Amino acid sequence: MTLQVVEQPESENLVPKKYEAILLSTQELVDKYWAQCVPHLDRCLEGMHGECTIDDLYTSVMQGQMYAIAVKNDDTELPDVKLILVLQLVYYPQYTAMNVVAMGGKDLRHLIKKFWADVCGWARICGVTQIECSVAPGMERILSTVGFERKYVQLKQDLMEV
């Protein structure tokens, strides 16, 4: 009998083990990873109908009004960020929720499944009992795989065009 090296199928090895989720909780961490987050957030903001800009997100994170969680790898010349979430606490009379303001990255479908439990654990530590977001139908399909359910349909009316 001889030992053989067996390669993992590509589908089981989508995110190398060197990637980890980190809360960008200091100026140094934000400065280290933000530039790699911007392309992911730009694509996300295209579908947000002008609600905010990259500068708005950066300022809110720096002021502690929003939180940023990055899935990153530091074993490259420049840190590689595969996923970024920008979150904001929402206080309701009966509970505290975490709103996903923006989320972007490469291969979201697989990354969400791999790291969502970490995000939920951190949110529970913060006293959050529910996570919410307003998303396009495509993102709804991705997030439903980690437990999100449709509760509302959001409507908007632009008063500048009335």
pTM for this model (two decimals): 0.85
Residue 107 has pLDDT above 60, yes or no: yes
| Helix (H) / strand (E) containing 128 | none
Q: Is the pLDDT of residue 143 over 80?
A: yes
CATH of 18-150, one of 3.40.50.300, 3.40.630.30, 3.40.190.80, 3.40.50.920: 3.40.630.30
What average pLDDT does the segment 97-117 reach? 93
The whole-number pLDDT of residue 136 equals 85
Element at 55 (helix H, strand E) = helix 54-62
Q: How far is Cα 39 from Cα 102, in angstroms, rounded to an integer?
A: 12
pLDDT at 154: 86
Half-sphere exposure of 115 (CA within 13 A, CB side): 27
Q: What tokens were used for 143? A: 């997030």
Q: What is the pLDDT of residues 1-35, one digit of tens each?
A: 455 555 555 544 555 568 999 999 999 999 999 99
Taking only the tens place, the pLDDT of each residue in 66-92 is 999 999 999 989 999 999 999 999 999
Q: Where are the domains of the chain?
A: 18-150
| Between 150 and 7, residue with greater pLDDT | 150
Place of tokens 């590689």: 80
pLDDT at 108 over 90: no
Q: What pLDDT is recorded for position 71?
A: 96
Distance (Å, rounded) from C-alpha 50 to C-alpha 91?
Answer: 24
Average pLDDT, the chain: 89
